[in-house]
Amino acid sequence: MTTQNERLFARAQQSTPGGVNSPVRAFRSVGGTPRFITRAEGPYFWDADDRRYIDYIGSWGPAIVGHAHPEVVKAVQEAAARGLSFGAPTEGEIDMAERICQLVPSIEQVRLVSSGTEAAMSALRLARGATGRDKIIKFEGCYHGHADSLLVKAGSGLLTFGNPTSAGVPEDFAKHTLVLDYNNPQQLEDVFKKMGDQIACVIVEPIAGNMNLLRATPEFLQTMRRVCTQYGAALIFDEVMSGFRVALGGAQSIYGIAPDLTVLGKVIGGGLPVAAFGGRADLMQHLAPLGGVYQAGTLSGNPVTVAAGMATLKLIQAPGFHDTLAAQTSKLVQGLSAAAADHGIAFCADSVGGMFGLYFAEQLPVSYATMMECDKQRFNRFFHAMLDANVYLAPSAFEAGFVSAQHDDAIIAQTIAAASDAFALIAN
């Protein structure tokens, strides 16, 4: 029988490339039909066949307080009733900027934009403009949105500049991006020794969430901080995913390292399009209209999206919010690990705050290379078994998962019970 999801997917493919507006939604990695979502509430969403799922994507991070939280919805409705967009400044933008600076102390000034891609792209331009240098360093497996300079993978040798990972990115752009190994401080140090005076910035996910969940080692980030300072390069933490998610002050508060610039997104919009980049005031002063680095946006600091973000930030500042979120997430990964062990499956899991990783491997991966050794086929079977049991995980073996404040003990227990059945199914 053709389901409503199948009908919608067939229809979508007529008018939209691949039927989706962002590739991972298409289920290409896991196979099958994407679910078309009609509504969401708390820890759940419903698809076009009116099936309810426990959601562990949370819109890929923003839904930290749960879907359609009444206070966020109310803030949006009230802001919308006052007008959708003015193209002139509002007090709400000042409130948001002040709140971000207060919660993330390395940020002295901040600018609001509409997507993480835009924020990372702008931070790079700022670092290049402020240092007068062109070269940048990123790390294999980290994702920073789809700006040209960042869709680049490693070249064949240590000092070979990167190759585009997307058609349409000129080699001439990619040659300014050097792609190094995550969690390899020695390699980073060697590169800086050879060409530190040409490097504008290093951009990193301090807790990576785009090659599944992978923690940076403290030594890796400390080395990064030291060499950036020594050679006058800007250190950019991309906390679009980890910001306000792994802790109220982001990954930088966990590691105790202050980057020069931070890129934020997801949670600060509470489900509407808000992102930001900010950091040292002396760097931020290079931005137009004060300085020569141009950056702008018709909808930047939009009053409705800012209202959603502020309502979300208010909720996550409640005492103990992140402790409870971390405890629930930890309960989930411990329960999944125990269930996998019961069925003799090579599996482990990790979590930081409200973010988690599931790995079909004997040991926790520590690098991009070890991450890629996880059993993708087994994950795909697990994904579909969980989907059949109405639990919606990220449709890829290499994406992190997200827990919201609405995932209570009963939801976690239900998920673990479903996983136990799923592990039994894929054990052979």
Residue 10 neighbours by CB distance under 10 Å: 12
* C-alpha distances in Å from residue 43, one per residue of 73, 326, 408: 16, 16, 9
Binding to ligand PLP in span 249-278, by CB under 6 A: 265, 275
Candidates 47, 205, 260, 350; binder of ligand PLP (CB under 6 A) is 205
42 is a contact residue toward ligand PLP (CB under 6 A): no
Is there a catalytic annotation at residue 255?
Answer: no
> Least Å distance between CB 306 and ligand PLP?
16
**Stretch of residues binding ligand PLP (CB under 6 A), selected from 125-133, 178-186, 233-241, 416-424:** 233-241
Strand partners, 207: 215
Is there a catalytic annotation at residue 331?
Answer: no
Candidates 26, 124, 199, 241; binder of ligand PLP (CB under 6 A) is 241
> Least Å distance between CB 111 and ligand PLP?
15
**Stretch of residues binding ligand PLP (CB under 6 A), selected from 82-90, 112-120, 181-189, 320-328:** 112-120
237 is a contact residue toward ligand PLP (CB under 6 A): no
> Which of the residues 55, 238, 260, 350 is marked catalytic?
238
Nearer to ligand PLP, 138 or 378 (CB): 138
> Least Å distance between CB 169 and ligand PLP?
16
Beta strand pairing call for 52-55 and 44-47: antiparallel
143 is a contact residue toward ligand PLP (CB under 6 A): yes
Candidates 93, 238, 260, 350; binder of ligand PLP (CB under 6 A) is 238
240 is a contact residue toward ligand PLP (CB under 6 A): yes
Nearer to ligand PLP, 245 or 384 (CB): 245
- CA 268, 273, 277, 278 torsion-angle sign: negative
Backbone angles phi, psi at 343, to 5 degrees: -100, 10
Nearer to ligand PLP, 75 or 147 (CB): 147
Tokens (6 digits) for 28: 């290409």
60 is a contact residue toward ligand PLP (CB under 6 A): yes
> Which of the residues 143, 182, 255, 392 is marked catalytic?
143
> Which of the residues 44, 56, 135, 266 is marked catalytic?
266
Candidates 210, 212, 252, 351; binder of ligand PLP (CB under 6 A) is 210
> Least Å distance between CB 195 and ligand PLP?
25
CB 221 within 8 A of CB 409: no
423 is a contact residue toward ligand PLP (CB under 6 A): no
Candidates 43, 62, 145, 206; binder of ligand PLP (CB under 6 A) is 145
Least Cα distance to 96 among 274, 280, 251 occurs for: 274
Is there a catalytic annotation at residue 194?
Answer: no
> Least Å distance between CB 143 and ligand PLP?
5
Least Cα distance to 100 among 324, 399, 316 occurs for: 316
Using Cβ positions, the residue closest to ligand PLP within the complex turns out to be: 116
Question: So which residues are the catalytic ones?
Answer: 143, 238, 266
List contacts with ligand PLP (CB under 6 A): 60, 115-117, 120, 143-145, 205, 209-210, 238, 240-241, 265, 275
